[in-house]
Amino acid sequence: MKVILVVVTIGLFGFLLGKFIKHKSLYPFMPFRYDFRKRRDTFRKTLEFLDKTKARLIIETGTSREGLHGAKSNGAATIVFGKWAKQNNAFLHSVDISEKSVANSQKEVTNQDLGKIVQIHLSDSVEFLRNFTEPVDFLYLDSYDYSDDREVQIKSQHHHLQEFMAIEDKLHDNSIVLIDDCDLPNGGKGKLVVAYMLQKDWKVVMNEYQILLVRKSFSV
Ligand SMILES: C[S@@+](CC[C@H](N)C(=O)[O-])C[C@H]1O[C@@H](n2cnc3c(N)ncnc32)[C@H](O)[C@@H]1O
């Protein structure tokens, strides 16, 4: 009986330790319970760059359709960068083509009291970016969903390239670009856009599940 109790206790301890090690929070910036897993380190570096460059205008393509509860699955970037914007006198535009995604994201933005800082637009992202007229300090590309289907993968990669090309001339020397869902079969969302950027004057700072890029001349 005693042996069984010891084995169960060790097993439970190991399970909890494993969970704790895998859990990647953005604490103290975000509450500890939210697990940002594969995006945690790139988010952290991006937040550091946003601080250093004193970013004022952020654009996100593809909004947080699962609110903050989607931290592990989708990233919850609308809330993470919206919160940063609120604390730093900045503004976030988030654009999404789906009414449902916009409604869900808007609900969370309101819950988090970010309504004056985050504006969610219902539009195709490329069209939105083409019509945008202000300088952009941080561009986060995370719209057209990637999947296992090769045709969808190609469409998603082209869409993210089109997004970048639509807003490219609004990016300045210290702009930051982050692309989601990259470390996936056949190159993920960033395959074409990263190749395009590297031919221009951009460099990769972090290459993980997300890819973080700045200009070669970036200085902070
Ligand atoms: C992965 S989710 C975005 C997750 C969000 N960035 C986050 O961090 O929680 C992708 C979103 O892109 C949107 N989307 C797909 N195609 C789009 C397009 N052409 N223009 C704008 N949004 C699009 C989808 O409706 C979906 O809500």
31 C-alpha to ligand 1 centroid (Å): 24
pLDDT band at 42 (very low <50, low <70, confident <90, very high): very high
Average pLDDT, the chain: 94
Residue 107 reports pLDDT greater than 90: yes
Strand order in 171-179's β-sheet?
118-122, 91-96, 57-61, 136-141, 171-179, 211-215, 202-207
Question: Which atom of ligand 1 is the closest one to the Cα of 181?
Answer: 1
Q: pLDDT, tens digit, for every residue of 155-166?
A: 999 999 999 999
Inside any domain, residue 46: yes
Tally of structural domains, the chain:
1
Residue 17 has pLDDT above 70, yes or no: no
Ligand 1 centre and the CA of 190: distance in Å?
14
* CA neighbor of 47 nearest in space, from 220, 209, 173, 215: 220
In a domain, 179, yes or no: yes
Domain contains 11: no
Spell out where 72-122 has E strands: 91-96, 118-122
Q: What is the pLDDT of residue 10?
A: 66
Residue 46 belongs to domain spanning: 25-215
Q: Is residue 101 part of a domain?
A: yes
Q: What is the per-residue pLDDT for 22? A: 84
Residue with tokens 């997004």: 163
Distance from the alpha carbon of residue 52 to the mean position of ligand 1, in angstroms: 28
Asked if the structure places residue 16 within a domain, the reply is: no
CA of 96 to the centre of ligand 1 (A): 5
> Which residue's C-alpha comes closest to atom 22 of ligand 1?
96
Report which protein residue has its CA nearest ligand 1's atom 17: 144
Percent of the chain predicted with pLDDT > 70: 93
Q: What is the DSSP letter of 210?
A: S
pLDDT band at 18 (very low <50, low <70, confident <90, very high): low
Residues with CB under 6 A from ligand 1: 60-65, 70, 74-78, 95-98, 101, 124-125, 142-145, 159
Q: Whose CA is nearest to atom 2 of ligand 1?
A: 62
Which pLDDT score is estimated for 219?
83
CATH number assigned to the domain comprising residue 34: 3.40.50.150
Residue 190 has pLDDT above 50, yes or no: yes
pLDDT interval class at 14 (50, 70, 90): low
Is 19 a domain residue? no
In percent, the amount of the chain with pLDDT more than 90 equals 89
Q: How far is the CA of 10 from the centre of ligand 1 (A)?
A: 43
pLDDT at 50 over 60: yes
The verdict on residue 2 lying in a domain is no
Q: What is the pLDDT of residue 16?
A: 46
Ligand 1 atom having least distance to the Cα of 77: 8
Indicate which residue's Cα is closest to atom 25 of ligand 1.
98
Q: Ligand 1 atom 11: the closest Cα is on which residue?
A: 62
Backbone phi, psi, residue 202, to 5°:
-110, 155
Asked if the structure places residue 1 within a domain, the reply is: no
Q: How far is the CA of 220 from the centre of ligand 1 (A)?
A: 30
Per-residue pLDDT band for 211 (boundaries 50, 70, 90) equals very high
What pLDDT, in 10s, does the model give residues 115-154? 999 999 999 999 999 999 999 999 999 999 999 999 999 9
Backbone CA torsion sign across 117, 119, 125, 128: negative
